[in-house]
Every structure is written in C-alpha cells, then in structure tokens.
Amino acid sequence: MVRYLARRVIWAAVLFIAVTLVAYVLFFLIPNDPAKLVAGKAATDADVKRAAHFLGTDRPFYVQYAKFLDRLVIHQNLGFSFANRQSVNSIVGNAAPVTASLVFGGAIFWMLLALPIGILSALRPRSLLDRASMTFVLIGISAHPIWIGLIFAYFFGFKLGWTPITGYCDFINPSTDCGGPVQWAYHLVLPWATFAILFAALYVRMIRANVLDTMNEDYVRTARSKGAPEHLVLRSHILRNAMLPVVTMLGMDISLALGGAVFTETVYSLPGLGKTAIFGLNNNDIPTVEGVIVFATLAIIVFNLVVDLLYAWIDPRIRLT
C-alpha cells in the first residue's frame, strides 16, 4: 500500500512536469509577444524590451520554465498575471470555487437523473420509458452545451423568468451584491442543468448497459436460485456490481471538468476556471493559464488517486500493489 502510494506520487510528479512543460512550449510557439501587449499600443521598441525584461519573457523559455517550477515548488507561488499584475494564486483561488460549485452540483444533478433512468430502462428494455430515455440520451449527447445553455437561458431565464440568466453568488461570504447558500443555488440551477445534461445522457447509457450486462451474470441467477426476492437481487447483486465502473467514470469526469467547464461558464458568465483560462489565453497571460493548468492537473491527479483507493475498497478483487 505504501509502495503503491509512493509509485503513484512519483507518477503524478512526472505527469505534472509533462503537462506544464508542454503548456509552456506551446505558448512559446504562439507568435505573439506578451511584452507588446503589456507595453501598450504606442510603445517604442525600447519600451517593449523593458516590458519583456520586466516580465522575464526576454529569457529562453527553459529558464522561464525553471523559474516557474522554482516559484511553484519552493514558494507555492504561481506568480503574477501579465495582464493585470494580480497574484495568480488568488485568481485561481477565486475561480476554483465557482467551477467546483458548478461541477459538484452538476454531478449530483446528473447522477440524480442518470441513476433512476438508467436502472429503470435496463429493467424494462424496449419499454416506452426505455425508448424515451434513449431519445433523451441521443439529444443530450448530440446537443452542444452552448446551445442547451442558450435555450435554457432564453426559456427559463428570459421568457419564464424562473431563474437568473447570468451571474454567480458566493456561497459563504458575499463578495458581490448577493450571497448565501440560497442565492448561490438559485443562480446555479440553470448552469447545473445545462452542465448535467450531457453527462446525464452519457451516464444513462453507461448505467443501462452495465445493469443489462450484470443482469445476465451467473451469480445473479445463483441469487435467484437461492430464492432471493427481486429487490434484493437488484440491490445486493446487480447494482453493487454494475456501479463499479460508474464510480471510476464519475471520478475521472469530475476531475476533468474541474479544469474548467468552459462552455457552461461562458454562457452563464460564471467567473470560473474555464473563463479564467480563456481570458488568460486571449491576453497571452502565461502565468494565469499555467495556474489553471496546474490546478486542473492536480485535481485530476488527486481525484484519480481517490477513485483508485475507493475502487480497491468497494471491489475486493482489486489489491493495490
């Protein structure tokens, strides 16, 4: 177990370096000089040079990367934004809770939708419910989140006036003019629904397929041959096994989405990581972009580890060695 964890941590470090380095290299391939943007439109060549020196972009990229690593590892500091000189730590720190609210709330939303629909349509294949849910899956997978978001915002937000169309309210301390759990949830209902639709569709399909597969397992027949009633067969023998792969997928999808639910955040103007990353990209703001990448990578690494540990706990066949 200790050896397993040690190996995982080493792998995480390798992965981390690979991801951040690739991001740096890509950035230097973009023929845009952040110093020019910083120096402004009327800047002379000397001004741009001074700006470049100030930002550190006049050094070769590997020096910059080494400095970035040094700052991050030694001081846990992501540096300062090229665009507005804000601390990237605080930029990411402000954006992460927004994305986390969206992703975790969305995950609860989509599991609440996908679990009952997936299980019921597996129990009654080819029924009306099954066909309706498969239609939903098709729409959910085909429709783009931006389109769904705009349609939701138009109908529920604008036409019906049920929900706010844009904006975010802080859960705990109101930095904006609204705050508190109720306002927080009220503002997030539409983003949650939008975000959840795609995943709910994918999960309905996966849960249905898993349950259908598991229903045909020999041990399910064994359970019936023991005289177990159907609800017990379903709960203790079918679902317990059918949910194993769902747990893995859930962990992977959540960790991936934590890197920024770009489309949903854009439609509803949520100041999350996705929006931050796009802002950074548009302004050639390496520190901000790297900040988001660092956070996303860590989220993925940590979540995958959690999922693996969880999996070893719920599936006795898996031993971590």
Partner 1 sequence: MALLEVRDLKTHFRTDDGIVKAVDGVSFSIEKGQTLGIVGESGSGKSVTCLTIMGLNPKRNTISSGEAIFKGENLLAMSSSRLRDIRGNDIAMIFQDPMTSLNPVHRIGAQLVEAIQLHRDVTKRQARARALELLNAVGIPRAERRIDDYPHQFSGGMRQRVMIAMALVNDPDLLIADEPTTALDVTTQAQILTLMTDLQKDFGSAIIIITHDLGVIAEVADDVVVMYAAKVAEHAPVDNLFKRPHHPYTWGLLGSLPRLDADVERLVQIRGQPPSLLNPPRGCRFHPRCPYVMGICKTVEPELLPAGDEADHVQACHLDVATKDREAAKVLAGTMAEAS
**Is 239 strand, coil or helix?**
helix
Nearer to partner 1, 67 or 235 (CB): 235
In contact, 308 and 104? CB cutoff 8 Å: no
Rounded to the nearest 10°, the torsion over CA 14, 20, 26, 32 is -160
Binding to partner 1, residues 223-252 (CB under 8 A): 223-229, 236-237, 240-241, 244
Helix axes 286-314, 88-123, angle to 10 degrees: 40
Nearer to partner 1, 154 or 219 (CB): 219
In contact, 290 and 91? CB cutoff 8 Å: no
Residue 272 φ then ψ, to 5°: -95, -170
Say which amino acid occupies 218: D
Nearer to partner 1, 241 or 266 (CB): 241
Based on the shown chain and the rule CB under 8 A, indicate whether residue 162 belongs to the binding site for partner 1.
no
Nearer to partner 1, 196 or 238 (CB): 238
**Alpha helix (H) ranges present in the chain?**
2-29, 34-39, 45-55, 61-75, 88-123, 128-142, 145-152, 181-215, 218-225, 230-232, 240-258, 262-267, 273-282, 286-314
Based on the shown chain and the rule CB under 8 A, indicate whether residue 17 belongs to the binding site for partner 1.
no
Nearer to partner 1, 209 or 232 (CB): 232
Nearer to partner 1, 102 or 223 (CB): 223
Nearer to partner 1, 55 or 239 (CB): 239
What is the C-alpha to C-alpha distance for residues 296 and 41, in angstroms, rounded to an integer? 34
Binding mask 77-106 for partner 1 (x = CB under 8 A): ------------------------------
What is the C-alpha to C-alpha distance for residues 102 and 150, in angstroms, rounded to an integer? 17
What is the C-alpha to C-alpha distance for residues 276 and 299, in angstroms, rounded to an integer? 16
Based on the shown chain and the rule CB under 8 A, indicate whether residue 53 belongs to the binding site for partner 1.
no
Nearer to partner 1, 33 or 217 (CB): 217
Based on the shown chain and the rule CB under 8 A, indicate whether residue 131 belongs to the binding site for partner 1.
no
Residue linked to tokens 């996705």: 274
The stretch near partner 1 (CB under 8 A) out of 76-84, 152-160, 173-181, 218-226 is: 218-226
State the nearest-atom distance from the C-beta of 237 to partner 1, in Å. 6
State the nearest-atom distance from the C-beta of 310 to partner 1, in Å. 14
State the nearest-atom distance from the C-beta of 114 to partner 1, in Å. 21
State the nearest-atom distance from the C-beta of 305 to partner 1, in Å. 22
State the nearest-atom distance from the C-beta of 233 to partner 1, in Å. 10
Based on the shown chain and the rule CB under 8 A, indicate whether residue 317 belongs to the binding site for partner 1.
yes
Which residues lie below 8 Å from residue 130, measured CB to CB, with a gap of 6+? 120, 121, 124, 208
Tell which one of 32, 86, 222, 269 touches partner 1 (CB under 8 A).
222
Tell which one of 29, 42, 316, 321 touches partner 1 (CB under 8 A).
316
Q: How many residues bind partner 1 (CB under 8 A)?
A: 21
Mind giving me the DSSP string for 56-72? TTTS-HHHHHHHHHHHH
Give the residues lining the site for partner 1 (CB under 8 A).
Answer: 217-219, 221-229, 236-237, 240-241, 244, 314-317
